[in-house]
Chain A
Amino acid sequence: MRRLLAVAAVVLLAPGAAAAAPSGSGLYAENCLSCHGPGGSGTARGPRLRGVGAIAADFYLRTGYMPLLSPGDQPTRRRSPFTARQIDALVAYVASLGKGLPVPRPHPERGSIPVGLRLFTEHCAGCHQVVGEGGYVTGARVPPLEQASATQIAEAVRIGPYLMPRFPRTQISDRQLDSLVAYVQWAKHPDDRGGWAIGHIGPVPEGLVAWLLAGTALVAVCVVIGKRNEA
């Protein structure tokens, strides 16, 4: 929805950009060349893009990871400065630089959530936390997964952005990937029971509730009950 609005805004505000088909190589020269070098040959500031394929370009651009603001940073999710059509053009351009994987088409509806949970615990939870709430690993902030789309989940698994390892087909088959995607999608709004879910990360917010809610309430009760009955 948010993306739609953004696109709509750009379309309304810049009719020129929407009318002319954006040029991939032009956008690349303007926004990416300084780090990735001419023709994706790579520089000290950014890796080679020949052969990373549409899959990597699609993921890095639609998550807003690229263009990176400063070369040393970990890419983080933000709103992309490009329109959807500009992204299409850039993806096509990067894909044309060398052979690489196309954008995957996962089918979460064919997957199974329990199988996905098992795979996720085995391969991903050590970094992403079992319900996909993210965490810290040496050298990186592991992002929560609540904003990743089905395609982006599949892409991330295959390309392994930043410190994340790459999981090729030999390790996670396409069928397993469907289950994995189904699980991650489900975990965004898991089957909650037992009342107010305080973040699905367990003890840290639980401790806050124990102290701030229960502790305060009970001390207040003590103060009220213990008040001297001046009679």
Chain B
Amino acid sequence: MIRSTVRFLDERSGGAPFLRKALRYVFPDHWSFLLGEVALYAFVVLVGTGIYLTLFFDPSTATTHYHGEYQPLHGLEMTHAYRSVVDISFKVKAGLLIRQTHHWAADVFVVAIVLHLLRIFFTGAFRKPRDLTYYLGLTMLALALLEGYLGYSLADDLLSGMGLAIGYSVLMSVPFVGANLAELVWGGPFPGTPAFWSRMYVAHVFLFPLLIATLLGAHLLLVAARHHTQFRGPRKTERKVVGVPTFPGQTPRSLGLMSAVTAVLFLLGGLVQINPIWLWGPYHVASGTNGAQPDWYLGWLIGALRLVPGFDVTIGHYTLVPNPFWGGALFPLVVFGFLWAFPWLERRFTGDHAFHNLLDRPRDAPWRTAIGAALFTWVALIFLAGSADRVFVTFFVSYGWQILFFRIAVWVVPVVVLLVTRRVCLELQASERVERERELAEEEARRAAAPEPVR
């Protein structure tokens, strides 16, 4: 029965040779190669839970008065968008579980991409012939950030409304074209027209997921076409990949990982509260709350907005570059721009245009490791500055001092990290050399001491 079905499919698709190849595809044998897969499965969970949410979400800015399950909001005026999210949380079967899982999945999706990116960066996996794969990955990261921001904004609660207000002011701050861009996206001055909500909705549930899925497909095809990289080791060469085949080796691993990711996300969704929009209340223009923060993966932008000293670039009365531009727009552009340019920069400076299928260990490329560590430290410090207000309230560390500290630290610490990391890499290399020489010498001595074996 199975045999005849398989034959039926094969005779009509001619897929057997391809399938055989796919099943014999070799996966390298190191845990860090699984981080990308974690991101992949988080994305699958996002799509799955997201579809469920679309069945109940109402992207309308028409207002209503709430008379649902949840007493503390009774009688309040709110948009249907907000009302429907409250209903998803309290009325829809498994709605809160799915909503929270969706949100946790978004948070964890970006965590996994960042970890994956770190692995790729520090092992030099982005080098030719995989730079294209790397660019696709970076683009997906950028899209994931925007997609998360859109999802966060759709709920129309107090925090998301404030998040949109910040986004609007950042877009407005782009020199020359900012005002027109914002007008174009919002369809009018903040908070925009109802069309803006449908635009966000279409972008969040259709355009961005489709874009990410397409890029993801291309990313995976490229990985498969170029094969995985691998660490140096016995029998591993630039031409030969050593590892486990898709089947029976990798398949159970992947399935296991998929189950684990799904389990972790649903556990979080069921057990840990995330974005309790019913506590934030509905958004009304000109109302706000202290310490409104976007989701964690945009915290670095909030940190940057806080750290940039308050100044505008003006010509006469005309404000050329309003302040939010530096932290909200230029900063992420610099970070992404640098990451994008890095494969090219590295080729330029090392003159290394060769194909690379074997990975470097971080110590093998001291400059790259040092630069990566410095960049990461820079972004991480700015990110931490984004929560300075909570640190102040919780631990009584003066806000002003913290900001002053960060303003200096973000320039000093990365340089220190750069120098120290490079030094450490070089020392590690040197100690390995010494070790190898000692081993060789010992071997030699042993051979000289021992009598020639009698054959």
A residues contacting B by CB (< 8 A) are 113-115, 117-118, 121-122, 125-131, 133-137, 141-144, 186-187, 190-198, 200-204, 206-211, 213-215, 217-219, 221-228
Contacts and interface: CB of A to CB of B under 8 A. Distances in A.
Nearest to A223: B31
Contact of A204 (B73, B257, B284, B390): B390
Contact of A113 (B32, B72, B256): B72
Given A114-B76, A210-B110, A215-B108, 10 more contacts: A121-B287, A125-B287, A136-B389, A141-B399, A202-B293, A203-B299, A207-B299, A209-B268, A211-B296, A225-B256
Contacts of B280: 130, 202
A4 B72 CA distance: 32
A219 B290 contact: no
B273 A210 contact: no
A222 B35 contact: yes
Contact of A203 (B253, B271, B293): B293
A142 B272 contact: no
Contacts of B31: 219, 222-227
A221 B31 CA distance: 9
A218 B107 contact: no
Interface in B60-74: 70-74
B38 interface: yes
B300 to A, nearest CB: 11
Contacts of A141: 392-393, 396, 399
Nearest to B292: A202
26 contacts: A113-B72, A117-B72, A117-B76, A130-B281, A134-B290, A136-B291, A143-B393, A144-B393, A186-B72, A193-B276, A194-B89, A194-B100, A195-B272, A196-B271, A198-B273, A204-B387, A210-B111, A214-B268, A219-B115, A221-B261, A222-B32, A222-B34, A222-B35, A225-B257, A226-B33, A226-B34
A128 B289 CA distance: 7
A121 B289 contact: yes
A213 B390 contact: no
A121 B281 contact: yes
Contacts of B104: 210, 214
Contacts of A143: 393
Contact of B96 (A194, A222, A228): A194
A96 to B, nearest CB: 36
Interface of B: 29-35, 38, 70-76, 89-90, 96, 100, 104, 107-108, 110-112, 115, 158-159, 253, 256-257, 260-261, 264-265, 268, 270-276, 278-281, 284, 287-297, 299, 387-390, 392-393, 396, 399
A50 B115 CA distance: 62
Nearest to A190: B279
B57 to A, nearest CB: 17
Contacts of B392: 136, 141
B287 A209 contact: no
B393 A142 contact: yes
A200 B280 CA distance: 9
B151 to A, nearest CB: 13
Secondary structure at the B interface, as helix, strand, loop or mixed, is: helix
A225 B274 contact: no
A122 B289 CA distance: 9
Contacts of A117: 72-73, 76, 281
Given A117-B76, A206-B274, A226-B34, A125 B288 contact: yes
A200 B296 contact: no
Contacts of A115: 75
Nearest to A126: B288
Contact of A206 (B30, B71, B275, B291): B275
A196 B271 CA distance: 6
A121 B33 CA distance: 47
Given A200-B276, A209-B272, A226-B29, A215 B111 contact: yes
Contacts of B96: 193-194
A202 B96 CA distance: 16
A142 B108 contact: no
B60 to A, nearest CB: 21
| B71, B288, B389, B392, most chain A CB atoms within 10 A | B389
A187 B151 CA distance: 26
A207 B38 contact: no
Query: Which 3 residue pairs are nearest across A and B when measured between Cβ atoms?
Result: A207-B296, A226-B31, A135-B290
Contact of B29 (A195, A221, A228): A228
Contact of B111 (A122, A186, A200, A211): A211
Contacts of A125: 158, 287-290
Contacts of B108: 210, 214-215, 218
Contact of A129 (B71, B278, B290): B290
Contacts of B71: 113-114, 191
A217 B264 CA distance: 8
A221 B261 CA distance: 9
Contacts of A217: 264
Nearest to B254: A225
A167 to B, nearest CB: 16
Nearest to B280: A130
Contact of B289 (A126, A197, A209): A126
Contacts of A186: 72
Contact of B107 (A137, A144, A197, A214): A214
Contacts of A196: 271-273
B38 A218 contact: yes
Given A135-B393, A141-B392, A204-B390, A129 B291 contact: yes
Nearest to A195: B271
Contact of A197 (B33, B159, B273): B273
Contacts of B90: 193
A198 B158 CA distance: 18
A187 to B, nearest CB: 8
A225 B272 contact: no
A16 B25 CA distance: 88
Nearest to A130: B289
